[in-house]
Structure 1
Amino acid sequence: MPRLARLDAPGVFHHVMIRGIERRDIFWNEADREDFLGRLSTLLPETGTACLGWALLSNHAHLLFRTGNAPLSKLMRRLLTGYVLGFNRRHQRNGQLFQNRFKSIVCQENMYLKELVRYVHLNPIRAGLVSDLEELNTYPYCGHSALSGNRERPWQNVDYVLGWFGDEVDAAGKAYQLYMKEGLPQGRREDLAGGGLIRSLGGWSEVKRLRSEGRSHTMSDQRILGDSDFVESILSGAGEKVERRYELKALGYDLNRIAEKAARLYGMELHEVFSKGRQDRKVKARSLVCYWAVRELGMSMSDLARKFGMSISGVGYAVNRGERISHEYSGQLMD
């Protein structure tokens, strides 16, 4: 059977899995794990990729990424090739380490982000690497320790993920810990790790080709994880909105232009959007700008934090608030 094409576009939320060939270990010691994380910490900012969760096991690893301007395939090729070269050099070996190419599942972020973060971060407990949540809180080779506030991982989008659990840092942290605890009895989730409604159909040209051939993949393809609306949005061609980042930039959309739109929506001057203040309309306008800038244009939260004079965590909360406002407003950036 031919390999299925991989969906690779800006703004896509991926659950990435890598496995050792013949289920052999890909991490032999702490030096291997640190080397892998070191490469990840360099490549994520270089490619504009957001890391929302991760876990390194013995013979495989899970990574939750939202792609930036660079394709996921470019990030993974550089990450895995560099790691294998270093691994072989350290252990005086030759040959293949990973099982074929990496596996990536395109996921509907608003429906599955929390579940996937929990599923991925509970892997060390399921694998017997740690005994319980208390030990997982400080386990260095899983993103849970950063979300618990026990490890500094500047390349992991901690604030954005915690923003899904609450607007205040302390309350969000407690809600996240409770959510993790509630997931302990679940065990392996085939619907998250191996099943799902539809998995990625590959590039948009592949989607169009399959449709032109009259081949319906609804509820049968295994490369996208989402509800029926999300699935249909890809099959109907509306999935091309993921490529809008390129289109928006080509049309001249930048931070000022989206701020101008937010200002018009709330009857404000442009400079008011960027000025400090807690007035309701100003907070809403800034939140909408943060949401559009991060999710539509692919801007980094650190850049927005400098522009608005906010903390990165503040921007993360603003993005989530802006998403809710956008849904209430029922409008699009290019409307």
Structure 2
Amino acid sequence: MARLPRLTVPGYPHHVIQRGNNRQPIVLSDADRETLLGLVADNALKHRVALHAYVLMDNHFHLLLTPETEDGVPQMMQAVGRRYVRYFNDLHHRSGTLWEGRYKSTLIQSESYLLACMTYMDLNPVRAGMVAQASDFVWSSHRHYSGLAQDRRLTPHTLYWGLGNTPFAREAAYAEMVRDGLSVQQQTRITGAALRGWALGDAGFVAELQKRTQRRVTESRPGRPVSQRKSAESL
């Protein structure tokens, strides 16, 4: 069956995942991590894409992005992918591919899933057994939103601003939300949508989104749960 083009629509949040080939490491040092995040931030700005959240694991990374244009995310990810592979191969004396094919991307409904997706990303290192709690991991946006660090690379979504009337209130509310975690159903839906590229939202959201693109946005009738192909721990 022919592979569907990625679903990308301006003005909507996109959950993006890029994994290393054969799950091999994509970073070997903090310098690699800083370089990769710098490329992400620079190309997000260049291609008019808001970077809301990120988590950088050893063999893959997640981004939460809102593009201003239809080509913003594809152009950004292409530039990041090419420049980082060149940097990584030259520095570590290797050749060949680094990525596991194309990046994966899903479009999400802000009101229902944006903060849940941020929580999902923050908890990735916890699920992987790398840290005991999200605040212990420095290579994600969690510490920025919970008030433990400042990260100028980020553009907070309006839903984050709605968590409280003061910075302290927003940071406390966000940290508590992450500590509370996700339900099994939320985690399953976010994982399945990310892996398969279908829009994540309720029936009304899916119907409205379908009016804006010729690309099919869901594999089934709106509202039907998305099956999970791989466990969340693998992401």
Please give the TM-score of this superposition, normalised by the length of structure 2. 0.82
Could you tell me whether the CA contact under 8 Å between 1:44 and 1:50 is conserved in 2?
yes
Cα deviations across residues 244-289 of structure 1 (Å, max 9, x unaligned)? Answer: xxxxxxxxxxxxxxxxxxxxxxxxxxxxxxxxxxxxxxxxxxxxxx
**Number of positions where the alignment pairs a residue of Structure 1 with one of Structure 2:** 212
From 149, 165, 168, the counterpart of 1:167 = 165
Deviations 1:303-322 (A, max 9, x none): xxxxxxxxxxxxxxxxxxxx
| Distance (whole Å) between structure 2 residues aligned to residue 167 and residue 120 of structure 1 | 24
1:233 paired to 2:208: yes
Question: Percentage identity across aligned positions?
Answer: 31
| Pair 1:64-2:64 in alignment | yes
Query: Alpha-carbon deviations, 1:201-223, whole Å to 9, x = none?
Result: xxxxxxxxxxxxxxxxxxxx852
Amino acid at match of 1:125: V
Question: What's the secondary structure of 2:181's corresponding residue?
Answer: helix
Is this contact kept in 2: 1:162–1:169, CA < 8 A?
A: no
Aligned to 2:226: none
Change over 3 Å in CA distance of 1:224–1:187 after alignment to 2: closer
Shift of 1:159: 6.8
Checking the alignment, whether the CA contact within 8 Å between 2:123 and 2:133 is kept in structure 1 is no
Runs of 4+ displaced beyond 3 Å:
158-161, 184-188
Alignment of 1:124 with 2:125, yes or no, is yes
Once residues 80 and 33 of structure 1 are traced to their aligned partners in structure 2, the CA distance between those partners, rounded to angstroms, is 14
Judging changes above 3 Å, is the alpha-carbon distance between structure 1 residues 188 and 91 closer, same or farther for their aligned structure 2 residues? farther
Distance 1:152 1:187, change over 3 A: farther
User: Which residue type is aligned with residue 27 of structure 1?
Assistant: V
SS of equivalent to 1:225: coil
Residue ranges of structure 1 left out of the alignment (5+ in a row) = 200-220, 241-335
Q: Which residue of 2 aligns with 1:55?
A: 55
Deviations 1:103-149 (A, max 9, x none): 000111121111001001111111122122442xxx32101011122
Q: Would the alpha carbon gap of residues 154 and 182 (structure 1) be closer, same or farther in structure 2, given more than 3 Å must change?
A: same
Q: Report the alpha carbon displacement of residue 24 of structure 1 after superposing the two structures with TM.
A: 1.2
Contact map agreement 2:55 2:62 (CA 8 A) in 1: yes
The question of whether the paired residues in 2 share the 8 Å contact of 1:25 and 1:59 is answered with: yes
CA shift, 1:184, in A, is 6.7
Distance 2:109 2:80 in 1: 25
* Long gaps (5+) in structure 2: 214-235
Note closer, same or farther for the CA distance 1:93–1:170 as it changes in structure 2 (3 Å cut). Answer: same
Which AA in structure 2 matches 1:175?
Answer: A
8 Å CA contact 2:8–2:107 kept in 1: the answer is no
Q: How big is the shift at 1:153?
A: 1.5
Q: Report the RMSD for the aligned CA atoms in angstroms.
A: 2.3
| Pairs within 5 Å for 1:213-252 | 222-235=197-210, 237=211, 239=212
Give secondary structure in 1 for the equivalent of 2:96.
Answer: coil
- Once the two structures are TM-superposed, the CA of residue 29 in structure 1 deviates from its matched residue by 1.7
Q: Which residue of 1 aligns with 2:116?
A: 115
